[in-house]
Amino acid sequence: MRLLLVEDDPMIGAGVQRGLRQDGHTVDWARDGEAAELALANGVYELVLLDLGLPKKSGEELLAGWRRRGVALPVLVITARDSVADRVKGLDAGADDYLVKPFDLDELSARVRALMRRKDGRAVPVIEVGALSLDPAAHAVALDGRSVALSKREFSLLHALMKQPGVPLSREKIEESLYGWNEEIESNAVEVYIHSLRRKLGAGRIRNVRGVGYMVPHEP
Ligand code: CA
């Protein structure tokens, strides 16, 4: 899953980016308000982690502008401002959740997962498609109840496909969700991951829709 982190504090930013990468997310990090604006205009993100006190353009301004323009992306505000009035203001401005610094990275991970579940319209944490199950919190995949070991990228790719079973994802979309800024994409990387997933899960679990992309069918 590709996330946009907007944070000007180098220590906090680096810590959050590292933590979320360990969770298997692709994290682009914008260090001021203008960079964030640009990133969101050009990138494909599933969630934004937003600091409020930022150079060039504040988090409140960014958030208000996005919501005015109808950007429905989940926004998790991370900030040092911890008065009740500030929190209420942030939520009213369109934030989906709020985390006050300093926070625990495990809590951040859990909140990111909860927001993604809500975005995908799921109440339960584990995604199941036929005999396949994927647990985003535990990073675990099982087939017929037996666990299957996947690499980080294979897991992210399968996660993206299983979130919308029966709906093909184009190679471009898959690349966008797997790779962040400055990450070089090898031309056949997606095919390699698909090949490896098919080998581990059975060829029928991931279908190639010619000219469209790849999907996990409801029934293999
Ligand atoms: Ca700040």
Separation of CA 83 and ligand 1 centre (Å) = 16
**Near ion ligand 1, which residues have CB within 5 Å?**
8, 51, 53
Question: Would you give per-residue pLDDT tens digits along the chain (220 residues)?
Answer: 899 999 999 999 999 999 999 888 999 999 999 999 999 988 789 999 999 999 999 999 999 999 998 888 999 999 887 777 777 777 778 899 989 888 999 999 999 999 988 888 877 789 999 999 999 888 899 999 999 999 989 999 999 999 999 999 999 889 988 888 878 878 888 999 999 999 999 999 999 999 999 999 998 7
Separation of CA 180 and ligand 1 centre (Å) = 22
The secondary structure of the chain in percent helix, strand, coil, rounded to multiples of 5, reads 40, 20, 40
Separation of CA 147 and ligand 1 centre (Å) = 42
* pLDDT confidence of residue 176: 86
Separation of CA 54 and ligand 1 centre (Å) = 5
Token pair, residue 105, equals 């990275």
pLDDT in tens, 22-80: 888 999 999 999 999 999 988 789 999 999 999 999 999 999 999 998 888 999 999 88
Separation of CA 27 and ligand 1 centre (Å) = 18
Separation of CA 92 and ligand 1 centre (Å) = 20
High-pLDDT (> 70) share of the chain, %: 100
Write out the H or E segment, with its range, that includes residue 2: strand 2-6
Distance (Å, rounded) from C-alpha 215 to C-alpha 9? 39
Separation of CA 152 and ligand 1 centre (Å) = 30
Separation of CA 73 and ligand 1 centre (Å) = 21
Separation of CA 11 and ligand 1 centre (Å) = 11
Separation of CA 39 and ligand 1 centre (Å) = 18
Q: Whole-prediction pTM value?
A: 0.79
Separation of CA 72 and ligand 1 centre (Å) = 23
Q: Which residues contact 3 (CB under 8 A, 6 or more apart)?
A: 20, 25, 26, 27, 28, 45, 46, 47, 48, 49, 112
Token pair, residue 88, equals 């209420």
Separation of CA 20 and ligand 1 centre (Å) = 19
Ordered structural domains, the chain, with CATH? 2-120 (3.40.50.2300), 127-215 (1.10.10.10)
* pLDDT confidence of residue 209: 93
pLDDT in tens, 20-36: 998 889 999 999 999 99
Distance (Å, rounded) from C-alpha 114 to C-alpha 177? 19
Write out the H or E segment, with its range, that includes residue 147: strand 146-148
